[in-house]
Structures are given as C-alpha cells and as structure tokens.
Structure 1
Amino acid sequence: MRCSRRTALTAASLLPASLLPATLLAGCQGLSTTSVDDQEFTSTLAIPPLAESTLDGGVRTFRLTVQEGTTQFTGFSEESTTWGFNGAFLGPTLRAARGEQVELEIDNQLAAETSVHWHGMHLPAAMDGGPHQMIAPGGTWHPHWRIDQPAATLWYHPHPHGATEEHVYRGLAGLFLLEDEASLAAALPSEYGVDDLPLIVQDKSFDRDSQLELHHDGAEPGQLGSTVMVNGTVGAVHEVSTERVRLRLLNGATARTFTFALPDRPMTMIASDGGFLEEPLELETLRLAPGERAEVVVSFSPGETVRLRSVRSDLGAIAAAATTGANDEFDVLELRAAETLAPCPEPEWSPAPEAQADALHEEDSTHTRSFTLNDREINGLEMDMSRIDEVVHLGSTEIWEVISTQPIPHSFHIHDVQFRILTVDGAAPPPELAGPKDTIYLLPHVEYRLLVRFEDYADPAVPYMYHCHMLLHEDEGMMGQFVVIEPGQEHLVGVEAMAGHGH
C-alpha cells in the first residue's frame, strides 16, 4: 500500500485513531513519507555571536534590527532570501543575569509588521512581544523589564497573529541566556561557542531556485522540511577540545519534533526549558517538540568522531506516524574530538539562593482550569484578539489541566510563566519532564496537570497568550488569551472576559 501524507492526515483529522481503517494505519506506521536528505558534514558550525550591550545607570541595553538579507546555505547553488536579527539569518545570543534591568531597542526594517516575543521569560504583559505588541515597518519598540527568574536557556522569535510560522521559518529566532549565582558557580562547561554550544535545530524546504519554500498541503502538523540545519549550518561540524561539551538544544522548527540521541553513550541532561534539574539525569534519547529546550552534557574520548542524531519520535497515539515525521531518523551535527582534550569535571551545581522562593507547591493551588485542544480550537474557540478567555489573580497558584483530543501532534506553551508538571495521565512525570517548563508536547488523549503561579505583574488591559507551538496551528486559531489582575480589577477587563472557565 502506498501511503501519502495528505491521505493519512486527512483521515486523521476526521476520525479518531481507534476508528481509522486498519489498512491505513498498518501502511503508514512502519515507513516514512517525510524523509530528510542525507548531508555531507563538511561545514564548520556557525556560532551566533553574543549580542553587544551597553550598561548605563544600571540598565543593560541591547539593540536588534529586524532585516531581510541573503544566505548561502551549503549544498544550494544560489543564495536564499532570508530574514534575521542584526544579520541575514537568525539572531545574536543575548545574555543577562538575574537582577539586571534590561532594555531592548528593536528596529523593524522589514516591509511587514512583526513582533519579538521573549519565549520563557517572566515579564510584564506589555513587554511580552505577543500579537498585541506589533512593530510597524520602520518602527521601533523599547521593551524593558527586570530579570527575575533562574538561569535558563530561553529564546526570542516573532509572534504576529496569523503569521508567526512564516516569520520564524524565514529566520527570525535567537537565544536569550540567563545566568544566576547557581549557574555561575556550577561545575559545567561554560566557554560560549567552545564547550558551551548554542544549537538552534531547524528543518527547511527549498525550491529549485534555492529559495526557502513554505507551503501547506493539508498535512499535519505543518510543513516538514527535508533539509536539517543547526544555527543555519547545513552539515554542521564542531571541533571538540574538552572532555565534556554542554549542548543547549532548542527545537526552533515550526512543526517537526526531534528526538536527540548519541551513539554508544548517554547524554547527561542538566536543564529543561526554565532551568536546572534537581540533579543530573542520564538519558539515551531526548524528545523536544517545537519551542522546547534542554541542556545536556556529552563526554568524549580523544580522537573520536560522534554524530548527534534525531531518531524515531514517540508522538503517542497519532493516526499516521509516517506522515508527521515520527519515523524519520537522520544525523544533525558532527562532533570531532581532538587528539588531546582539556579536562572537564562531572556536571555539578547547587541550588540558587532564590530556589526556595521559586519553588511551586501543589498545596498552594486555589483554582483549576481545563483546556482541551482539538482541530484549531482551545476549549471550542478559535483565537479572537478582542476576547479575553481567562482571568487570573495576581499571586495565585493554579492547576491547569491540558489535553489534546485528536490523533495529531500538538504542544502547549504558556507565556510569562515556568510551570511544573504534576501528573501525566495521572502518574508522576518522567524525570526529563520534572524540571521547570514553559512548553510541553501533548501525547493525544493524555491529560497533563500543570502547576502555575502568577506573580509580580498585573495588567487588566494587556493579555498574555497560551497556544499550540506547532506554529501553523497557532496561526490558524489554536491560541487563547489570559490577563493577570489584582482583586477588584475585574470591571477593567471588559464585558467579553470569560472568567467562568475555571472550576
């Protein structure tokens, strides 16, 4: 039987997996229709530069220019038109420390309006960079806030309503690294670009003229590219000079889920989306859906060559694994160890002074909300920029119960917060999901109970977002809005606020 991506996913969108024809499922589970091109690993891994900043009056200021340019990708005959921050493709890595006041000066030189969202950052809603903080062509935006959260690997990307997928796909993304006392004192690889590597992993499609191609054929969860790149480098190679290397992994793709693995050795996971785990965790594989991050430490022997791979992904009870990239296996990055390696200790760190205050406790929760993802809706509603879907109170701790009820890949991202996963289908989360998170892949028909605290910032007029981070789904309506208010501000939210969703 020949399984087409369109046929399988059209069926999946109409029927639950239990009712799909057995012949379709059998024909589509053991093969792949979304193959990734083989690459020659000959190009030096590009390292995004650390962004320059100025410090004046206690405020650290970064300057970003959103612009169009051209990029010569390895293996393609012509330069590709791309978008980037302070360059042609992707953006510099921003770095700041807990307690610092930061300000961004962002100039939009594109012909289209855009925004810049600080994914994973705790900050006021008006500075969040969602679809309500658009920057017009030729315009400038000056968000500012105080960094007050644990050390973590965060990232930034556009968030224009209905166009996020295109803007990210064309190249607008970069990392934002946070440090604190714990990270600065930790026994970890820490030389940026040498043994502490930022890795933005993406997949792209190109047309015959070497131009980025973004099209939709009705397949789920969106376009899956046949060319995989790291930091914009196709067939990337990094020369290893130390016994251990820290990989800061970001799934910067718009739809594809990666499951990372290394041959003949485990990875030591040290951090998830929002910061350090309680202790190092050895893993054979690590699944990251779009928007998720993780930090892992990898050990090397002198003179060896190792490739980071993406292996088959467990996406749960989806209707046709072959058409969603779940069956794809391919190399991502080649790591070549020198004949002599500098020593590097085993990963070790201690809790930051703020760890106790940062901790979330289930007994503090006072409210539970439920969110069901299906089709392009959350709780039966498509995104409406004029509607506030949820109203939460400043200082409250809540449980958000989230479930996807259709057999296609979905993920869930909440702006402003790092949550703790309490249970996955009623059981304790696996250890790789026990750390601070802001984005989580949703296995179909599995309930995730998330513990969330809303603190520091209240604004009845400006909402935060929650949404699927499969960016086609987000653009087509799988997103909602919530505001954080102080008690007594309910009347300022507006008549369309729907605070009754909780129970």
Structure 2
Amino acid sequence: MLRPRLRRPTATIASGLAALAAGGLVALAFAGCGVVTPGPVSTVGKVDFDRPLAIPPLAESTVDADGVRAFSLEARAGTTEFEPGVPSETWGFDGDYLGPTLVAERGERVRVDVSNSLDEPTTVHWHGMHLPAEMDGGPHQVVEPGAHWSPSWAIDQPAATLWYHPHPHGETETHVARGLAGLFLLHDERERALGLPSEYGVDDVPVIVQDTGFSAEGRLEGAQRGYAGGLGDELIVNGTRSPFLEVHDELVRLRLLNASTARSYAFTWSDGRPMRQIASDGGLLEASVDLDRLRLSPGERAEVLLRVEPGERVVLQSRMTPEIAGLVGPVAATNGGDDAFDVLEVRAAATLDLASPVPAVLNEIADFDETQIAADRRFELNDSFEINGRAMDMGRIDEQVTVDTLERWTVVNDTALPHSFHVHDVQFRLASIDGAPPPPELAGWKDTIFVEPGREYVLLMRFEDYADPDTPYMYHCHLLWHEDQGMMGQFAVVEPGPRATMPEETHHEH
C-alpha cells in the first residue's frame, strides 16, 4: 500500500479566471489571492502492490421475447474499505463503488433499466455510444430519487471500449468522483475473428484509473483543487488501492479508461518496453502502434497489448511531463504536468499459455470524403469556462445539425490549460492538428480528444440518423469541473428544414 503522508492544504479556486490568459499570470494571480494549489506528485517506488486487482463483475442480462437484451443498474450509496477496516462513504451502481461491466454485440437491441436509490437526482450517460438523443442520459434525462428510467436502442457501431457515468448539470464532477462509473463493452464479428485476447478478467482486463486522496488511516478524502479541477495525489484502479494483476497468458489485453475527473495520464511501462496500442475510443486502429507514452485525458479510452515472459514483473506507470501535458512553468507544476505514478503491477505466472499471433491489419477505416462536408463549425474554448463566449444554458440549443450529413468542427483552445473535448452520439476522425495530419494513435475513431493550449484541432463527423428537433446532445470539456462551470453546449440533429425546439427537462419520477 502507499505509505501514510501529510495532506496538502485544500485549495479554493478564486473567481476571475477569465481575466488570466497566460500560464505565468494564472499562477501569480492565484498566489496573490493566497490560494495553495497541488504541487508535483510522485508515487513511483512507493506503492507496495499488495492487493489483487478487483475485476468489475459482468452485468447479468436477459433476452426477452422481442430479442431485446435487458440489463439493470441501480445507483446507490454505500461504504467501501479501500483499507481493511476503514470504511469510506462512496457511491456505485449495483454495489458500493463503480459498476458492473455491460457487454453487447453489434446488431443487438439493448435496454437498461436504471433505478435511482440515491437521495438526489442523477443521470446515466452512455459515453461513446451512438443512440437517440432521448436515450443519451445527458442532463435532460434526469432520474429523480426513487425513480426509474429504461432507455432502449440498437447497437450499431464497431466493437469498442465504452463507458457510462452520470451527467447531471452542474454536479457531474461530484457524482463521478464518488464512484458512479462503469464499462460498456461492444463486440462484433470482425473483432472476434482477429483472435485477440478475449476472456474477460483473465487475458482481457479492464483498467479503470482514477486519482484521489486518502487520509493517513486510508479513508477516502477526495482530491485537492487545482485549476484543472480535482487532482488526487494517489491512484486507484478498478477501485483497488495498491493493485497487482497476476496473469497466466503470455499476451494480455488491457482496456484503459481514464475515469478521473481532471487528471490526464501518460502511460508507460517501467522497463521501457513500448506501449502497444490497438484501439482508441471508438474501436480498433487499422494497425497496432508502439508508443513511448500513451496519453489519455479524462474520458478517453485505449486498448493495449502486453506480452510477458514467465515469472517476470512489470509496472504500468504514468509519467507526465510538461511537454506531454501541453503546459509550461507554474501551471504545469500545479496541474499534474510533472506528476508520476505507479499504477498497476503485472505479475506473470511461472508457466504461461501461448497466444495466437496478432494480425498486422486490425481494421479498415475508410476516410471521409471532404468534398461532402455540409457545414463548418468553430468552437473556441476560453478562460471563462465558456465555448464561443457562451456558458452552458439548458434552455438554449447552440448548434443545429442536419441529419445524414458530414460536418467539420474546428476546436481551438484559447486558454492556458489543456481541455478534453467530448462530442455525444458520434465517433469522429481527427483530420489535423495545427494543419498537420494526426499521429497514428489518434487516426482511428474518437469521441474525446485532448486539446492542448493554443492549438487547433479539426474533427470530421457524420450524423447518420436519430433526428430529433426536441432533444439535444452535448459537446463539452470532459474535465468535469470545467463542464460543471459551463464549458458545454448543446446541438440538435434535425431533418432538413425544421428548426430545433427546446423542451423542458425530462424528469423520470416513477
């Protein structure tokens, strides 16, 4: 386990961030207000790796007479012992912390019967899923305490590692930080035919990474406040403190999810071997990519392969640098730009089962025809936690998109801090970064993208179906404190001609 250590003072973010444009000015201004922010953190060499990694259970499901696969999820409060005998108050789905892993096949129709046993309203958003707006689980699909909600939709997208989490307006950071999150895995025939590791929890392993803080006794205390949001000084994986994973296969597939509310990671292996990435948010890359470090901002996912020798041990680490974080000076030091963590130790058994060769070609991804672009949109992120000079307004639709058209969205970060830009409903392709083609690891399907300060990202996306002039989807920063402060907007997908309308929120009360 991590050794007890002194707690840093909790910081309070002062008003007036909008007036601070440069990283140095940000740091000086906050220091002048007497604000203490988190400094550099390192847990490398300080984690004992003395607890087996918890594997979230697979969610049970039934298939009804109409062929619909039905799941159920209950949001509820509970207690979790991150240290034996030391209970912490937490939230979870169907348990005390996190939630079960839902699994479905492309072509299936699914239904999730959601119930809310909390004392306050929440929602459940299906992050990365292509589905109707009224099923999306954003801030308009509120589930009141004691109420139920049963969204249903057809799975019509490639195999991918998706996830679910709350999305209540102004409260998302708090709900996610308390533990409400889980994976939603999609499979299809093409992925299964590749022979990749596929036995859940054995050689196909979920790795849900979160940062938080603990008291010296091991009680969950939450994160300290940085400019990016809540930044913890310790990591837990699948809700496990100080975790190790014992494997009996020479090839292991790790499904990485950054479920932190504000912290980005630069994943690497302790012995310097490459991170072999095979998939991004929306599914398999065309071919595997070897990386020195794999950067994931909040909400992003990646799948990597690890090949081990009998008896060896290797540690998954995060080693962020100011360059990787897109930060300089004091802002880097106080927003995780210099932090390093031991994340998870992988222990290979003395005897390992052999694995099939990994195909050279994993996927075929057709490029969009840019001559078919029907609309260009620009999204400027500013220091006031606004997009295009406007904070989120639940009663305002910011963009109207025509169904079955290709659009080009240009996202510009005009702030001194990085952001994590997420678009609901679609998977997009990254066309360019500052006019240059994206690197191979970002050339696949994405729904969330790390946006560095002062840079321009061009996204291509097609809104194939699900026109609904009455119900919007969201686009927002996935640094959840930024989202809660107003760095979010709404778009509606409509048929040609009609204008979108803005109804009242949908509250599920029974």
TM-score normalised according to structure 1 size:
0.90
Alignment of 1:315 with 2:325, yes or no, is: yes
Deviation at 1:126, TM superposition (A): 0.1
C-alpha contact (below 8 Å) 1:17/1:317 kept by paired residues: no
Q: Which moved more, 1:275-284 or 1:139-148?
A: 275-284
Q: CA deviation at 1:275?
A: 0.5
Residues 372, 378 of structure 1: 8 Å contact kept: yes
1:64 Cα deviation after fit: 0.7
* RMSD, aligned α-carbons: 2.6
Offset of residue 206 of structure 1: 3.2
User: Is the 8 Å Cα contact of residues 369 and 399 (structure 1) preserved in structure 2?
Assistant: yes
Aligned to 1:79: 87
Instruction: Kindly provide the CA deviation profile for residues 26-46 of structure 1, in whole angstroms up to 9, marking residues without a partner as x.
Output: xxxxx9814255321000000
Letter in 1 for 2:421: F
Counterpart in 2 of 1:16?
A: 21
Q: Which residue of 2 aligns with 1:499?
A: none
Partner in structure 2 of residue 448 of structure 1: 457
- 1:327 corresponds to 2:338: yes
Whichever residue aligns with residue 254 of structure 2, its letter is L
1:346 to 357, 360, 368: 357
Count residues with an aligned counterpart: 483
What are the superposed Cα offsets for residues 241-295 of structure 1, whole Å, 9 maximum, x if unpaired?
A: 1111111000000001011001231121100000010111111110000000000
For residues 52 and 321 of structure 1, do their structure 2 counterparts lie closer, same or farther at Cα, with a shift above 3 Å needed? same
Identity %: 54
- Secondary structure of the structure 2 residue equivalent to 1:377: coil
In the superposition, relative to structure 1, how do residues 186 and 455 fare at CA in structure 2: closer, same or farther (>3 Å)? same
For structure 2, which runs of at least 5 residues remain unmatched after alignment?
Answer: 1-7, 30-36, 504-510
Deviations 1:450-474 (A, max 9, x none): 0011012000000000000000000
Aligned in 2, Cα 1:303/1:407: closer, same or farther, shift over 3 Å? same
2:347 and 2:163 mapped to 1: Cα distance? 27
Instruction: State the match for 2:252 in structure 1.
Output: 245
Q: Could you tell me which amino acid in structure 1 is paired with residue 305 of structure 2?
A: V
1:33 maps to: 39
2:294 matches 1:286: yes
Distance 1:21 1:484, change over 3 A: closer
Q: Distance in 2 between matches of 1:64 and 1:173?
A: 11
Q: Which residue type is aligned with residue 138 of structure 1?
A: G
How far is 1:431 from its partner? Answer: 1.1
Quickly say closer, same or farther: Cα 1:127–1:359, change in 2 above 3 A: farther
Amino acid at match of 1:325: G
Take 2:312 and 2:17, find their aligned partners in 1: how far apart are those partners? 44
Q: Is the 8 A contact 2:122 2:168 kept in 1?
A: yes
Q: How much does 1:406 deviate?
A: 1.0
Which residue of structure 2 aligns with residue 361 of structure 1?
369
Counterparts of 1:400-411 in structure 2 under 5 Å? 400-411=409-420
Distance 2:487 2:335 in 1: 18
The CA distance in 2 between the partners of 1:448 and 1:9, in whole Å, is 30
Superimposed CA distance per residue, residues 48-77 of structure 1 (whole angstroms, 9 cap, x where no aligned partner): 011110011210000111111111003x75
The Cα offsets for residues 209-264 of structure 1, whole Å up to 9 and x where unpaired, read as 755434664x3101111220100001111111111111100000000101100123
Q: Distance in 2 between matches of 1:281 and 1:215?
A: 33
Question: Aligned partners of 2:451, 2:311: CA distance in 1, in Å?
Answer: 40
- Residues in 2 aligned to 1:8 and 1:111: alpha-carbon distance in whole angstroms: 27
Relative to structure 1, is the Cα distance of residues 350 and 281 closer, same or farther in structure 2, using a 3 angstrom cutoff? closer
The equivalent of 2:5 in structure 1 is: none
1:93-112 correspondence runs (5 A): 93-112=101-120
Q: Which residue of 1 aligns with 2:261?
A: 254
- For structure 1, the 5+ residue unaligned runs are 25-30, 496-503
Deviations 1:411-460 (A, max 9, x none): 10000000000000110011111110000010111000000110120000
SS in structure 1 of the partner of residue 230 of structure 2: coil
1:126-165 matches, within 5 Å, as 126-165=134-173
- From the superposition, tell whether residues 270 and 147 of structure 1 become closer, same or farther in structure 2 (CA, over 3 Å): same
Partner residue in 2 for 1:27 = none
Distance 1:245-1:494 versus aligned 2 partners, 3 A rule? closer
Q: Secondary structure at the match of 1:40?
A: coil
* Alpha-carbon distance in 2 for matches of 1:102, 1:349: 33
Check conservation: 1:390, 1:482, Cα contact below 8 A.
yes
Q: Distance in 2 between matches of 1:398 and 1:226?
A: 40
**2:483 aligns with one of 456, 468, 474:** 474
Q: Which moved more, 1:373-382 or 1:206-215?
A: 206-215
Local SS of the residue matching 1:72: strand
Aligned residue identity for 1:316:
G
Deviations 1:139-176 (A, max 9, x none): 00000000000100000000000000010000000000
The DSSP-based 3-state class of the residue aligned with 2:380 is: strand
Q: Distance in 2 between matches of 1:164 and 1:209?
A: 28
Name the SS of the counterpart of 1:168 in structure 2: helix
Amino acid at match of 1:315: A
Q: Which amino acid aligns with 1:348?
A: P
TM-score normalised by the chain length of structure 2? 0.89
- Tell me, in whole angstroms, the C-alpha distance in 1 between the residues paired with 2:10 and 2:337: 12
Aligned residue in 1 for 2:4: none
Q: 1:441 is matched by which residue type in structure 2?
A: F
Q: Is the CA contact (8 Å cut-off) linking 2:212 and 2:234 kept in structure 1?
A: yes
- TM-superposed CA distance for 1:410, in Å, is 1.0
Distance 1:22 1:414, change over 3 A: closer
Distance 1:463 1:304 in 2: 50
